[in-house]
Amino acid sequence: MAKKYERIADALRQSIRAGQLKPGDRLPAETALAEQYKTSVPTMRDALGELLAEGLIDKRHGVGNFVREPRPRVERSNQRHQWEKNRARLLESERLKTGSTEHDTGLTVSDLAFKATYREVKADEDLAAVFSVPVGTRLLEREYRTFPREGDAPFSLVCSHLLYSAVSSNPDLLDASNEPWPGGTQNQLLTVGIELDRIVERITARPPTAEEAEELGLQKGVSVFVLRKISIDTGDRVVEVSDVIMPGDVTELVFTTPLDRW
Amino acid sequence: MAKKYERIADALRQSIRAGQLKPGDRLPAETALAEQYKTSVPTMRDALGELLAEGLIDKRHGVGNFVREPRPRVERSNQRHQWEKNRARLLESERLKTGSTEHDTGLTVSDLAFKATYREVKADEDLAAVFSVPVGTRLLEREYRTFPREGDAPFSLVCSHLLYSAVSSNPDLLDASNEPWPGGTQNQLLTVGIELDRIVERITARPPTAEEAEELGLQKGVSVFVLRKISIDTGDRVVEVSDVIMPGDVTELVFTTPLDRW
DNA sequence: GAGTGGTCTAGACCACTGT
DNA sequence: CAGTGGTCTAGACCACTCC
């Protein structure tokens, strides 16, 4: 026999899909639901936990459980990289018009809030291995947050590392107040004579840390994508390592692989 | 103040990383752990649930909780597509030697068990939209499972769809007993005159269905990758749509994007 | 202050595993 | 059969939100 909380979760899913419960609707209180389904509150909470992990409902402490508005998925395509490379050499007036997040989401610049912080750090074992440099090498660490609107949760948490020695010849690159930089990282690299040859992305999924869940506004049970983007220049040198955390429930990654012709 | 179950989970994580609990070790019974950490069994189970979702422990019903052996990650690179395309035109004797799963895992053919089932189906709305054909169009549905060893859980669940009309000219392609087909899908397509131009992959993450969790042997809280691979031929026609479910805790997806030179 | 979800307790009973 | 984890109950008390 199926587990009780699964049967209840199924019944609720059914109600949502059939439209008896519409996006934005508040569900009855958990005590009321428990009574309705002839079960205890903890079992009811197990059932709601399934819907929560699937992103079908939002729990709001002290307020109630709500059917979630079908949030538009944020699409992140690897074609953004070539797009960014092309854009990096445009005139500044062109580069100012739009950034990568707009490219992904279709939103316009004015809808977005942006935050960047820079820091100088030393390479730990992990980063040293990827950059092929000694542990302790100076790196420029840059954290980015892009918000759909002020007050909302960010789309992603980005932590980028650059080889300090590679970028310090242009002091503007060391100052976070120049962000958002028109033309993005590839334009920044262009100012110190670096051209990218290829980008390697490694993707895993795992439960968020408590801090990540907090910052991204994730419900319990939702996993995150961890994407490590490694930028390699025309001299086969790793010049940037960027770690991106994205909510698994609303993100779609798209990769196009062209094949050589026969 | 931090939640009790989080503090306990942290303490256990610590013990595992410090090596006081080694891979393969059995943890004390949950009742014993609850007593040790001065808490109730349900709270203890919440703490263990965190480690479970992170893949640090295995729960085995009726047996106990075990520190997990650090399972090797299965890497799936998009370079496999070009590799497969090159392999598709080799002599059969060459093609027999190795398949894509071996390419991903580094295992040899003899370590692997393989299962394929074919079925004829009609396109639902979803598939019809991707193929750009009317709903109800005949499709060949193929399910694949590859196991590390007989009896173990498969690496992934693969469900592939081909346009029936595109492949039926070669009856060998309709018979599952010809699997594993030396040279893979791209060689199969070659026999009916189809060459692939590019592959588009769309990736999301979500909790597994009950069936997926069962078949992949997933612990509670572990998410799966859902990868939809769309193969497009040199005439810009979608010829294959393949849905792949992979465990999020042991899979690493790798994508390399080459950039045009300035 | 009323009502909501969040955490935690204590314990019953069932299902599974290995001996 | 003994011991383990799995499910479920009943209810206390806290934290948060909104009126």
Is any atom of strand C within 7 angstroms of residue B29's beta carbon? no
> Pairing relation of β-strands A74-77 and A251-258?
parallel
Taking CB atoms and an 8 Å limit, are A253 and B54 in contact across chains? Answer: no
Give the burial class of B244: count Cβ atoms within 10 A of its Cβ; 0-12 exposed, 13-18 middle, 19 or more buried: buried
Using the CA of B63, which nucleotide's C1' is the nearest one? D4
d(CA A49, C1' D9) / Å: 18
Per-residue pLDDT for chain B (262 aa), expressed as one digit of tens each? 678 999 999 999 999 999 899 999 999 999 999 999 999 999 999 999 999 999 999 999 999 999 999 888 889 999 999 999 999 998 877 777 766 666 665 555 556 788 899 999 999 999 999 999 999 999 999 999 988 876 678 989 999 999 999 999 999 999 999 988 988 999 999 999 999 999 999 999 999 999 999 999 999 999 999 999 999 999 999 999 999 999 999 999 999 999 999 8
The edge-to-edge listing of strands for the beta sheet with A196-206 is A113-122, A138-147, A157-163, A238-247, A224-233, A196-206, B251-258, B74-77
Is any atom of strand D within 7 angstroms of residue B2's beta carbon? no
Say if residues A230 and A130 touch (Cβ distance below 8 Å): yes
Backbone Cα Rg of chain B: 22
Q: Which residues of chain A have a CB within 8 Å of the CB of B200?
A: 254-257
Dist CA B49 CA B76 (whole Å): 28
Residue A32 in this model has a pLDDT that exceeds 70: yes
Computed from CA positions of residues A128, A134, A136, A137, in that sequence, does the dihedral angle turn out positive or negative?
negative
Task: For B145, list phi and psi in degrees, rounded to 5.
Answer: -135, 130
Indicate the range of A29-33, A67-71, B160-164 predicted with least confidence: A67-71
Which of these, B8, B199, B119, lies nearest to A78 by C-alpha position?
A: B199
Nearest protein residue to nucleotide D16, judged by CA and C1' positions: A62
Q: What pTM was estimated for this model as a whole? A: 0.92
- Nearest chain B residue (CA) to A233: B259
Model confidence at A179, pLDDT cuts 50, 70, 90, reads confident
Dist CA B242 CA B201 (whole Å): 9
Cis check: omega of the bond before A180, within 30 degrees of 0: yes
Taking CB atoms and an 8 Å limit, are A199 and B256 in contact across chains? Answer: yes
Taking CB atoms and an 8 Å limit, are A255 and B6 in contact across chains? Answer: no
The answer to whether B252 faces chain A, any CB pair under 8 Å, is yes
The 10s digit of each residue's pLDDT in A77-102 is: 999 999 999 999 988 777 777 666 66
The 10s digit of each residue's pLDDT in A217-243 is: 999 999 999 999 999 999 999 999 999
Residue A2 in this model has a pLDDT that exceeds 80: no
The answer to whether B204 faces chain A, any CB pair under 8 Å, is yes
Taking CB atoms and an 8 Å limit, are A200 and B225 in contact across chains? Answer: no
d(CA A8, C1' D10) / Å: 19
Q: Which residues of chain B have a CB within 8 Å of the CB of A42?
A: 42
Taking CB atoms and an 8 Å limit, are B258 and A201 in contact across chains? Answer: no
pLDDT > 90: percent of chain A:
79
- Nearest chain A residue (CA) to B75: A202
Q: Which one has a higher pLDDT value, A180 or A46?
A: A46
Q: Which residues of chain A have a CB within 8 Å of the CB of B221?
A: 207, 221
Partner B, chain A 101-130, Cβ-Cβ below 8 Å: none
Extract the tokens encoding B10: 């942290």
Which one of A18-27, A115-124, B176-185 scores highest in mean pLDDT? Answer: A115-124
Residue A113 in this model has a pLDDT that exceeds 90: no
Q: Which residues of chain A have a CB within 8 Å of the CB of B205?
A: 205, 223-225, 248-249, 251
Nearest protein residue to nucleotide D18, judged by CA and C1' positions: A63
Taking CB atoms and an 8 Å limit, are A199 and B257 in contact across chains? Answer: yes
Distance from CA of A59 to the nearest CA of B (A): 18
Partner B, chain A 40-69, Cβ-Cβ below 8 Å: 42, 50, 53-55
Q: What is the mean pLDDT of residues A180-203?
A: 95
Averaged pLDDT of chain A: 91
Computed from CA positions of residues A236, A240, A241, A245, in that sequence, does the dihedral angle turn out positive or negative?
negative
Residue A123 in this model has a pLDDT that exceeds 80: yes
Q: What is the pLDDT of residue A106?
A: 58
Q: What is the pLDDT of residue A92?
A: 78
Taking CB atoms and an 8 Å limit, are B248 and A53 in contact across chains? Answer: no
- Report the residue of B259, B260, B262 to disrupt the A interface, i.e. the one with the largest count of A CBs within 10 Å: B259
Say if residues A84 and A186 touch (Cβ distance below 8 Å): yes
- Nearest chain B residue (CA) to A82: B259
Residues in chain A: 262
- Report the residue of B186, B229, B255 to disrupt the A interface, i.e. the one with the largest count of A CBs within 10 Å: B255
Q: What is the pLDDT of residue B103?
A: 64
Distance from CA of B28 to the nearest CA of A (A): 25
Nearest-by-Cβ selection for B85 from A54, A199, A259: A259
Q: What is the pLDDT of residue B262?
A: 84
- Secondary structure (3-state) at B182: coil
Is any atom of strand D within 7 angstroms of residue B7's beta carbon? no
Taking CB atoms and an 8 Å limit, are A203 and B85 in contact across chains? Answer: no
Domains annotated for chain B, with CATH where assigned, are: 4-67 (1.10.10.10), 74-254 (3.40.1410.10)
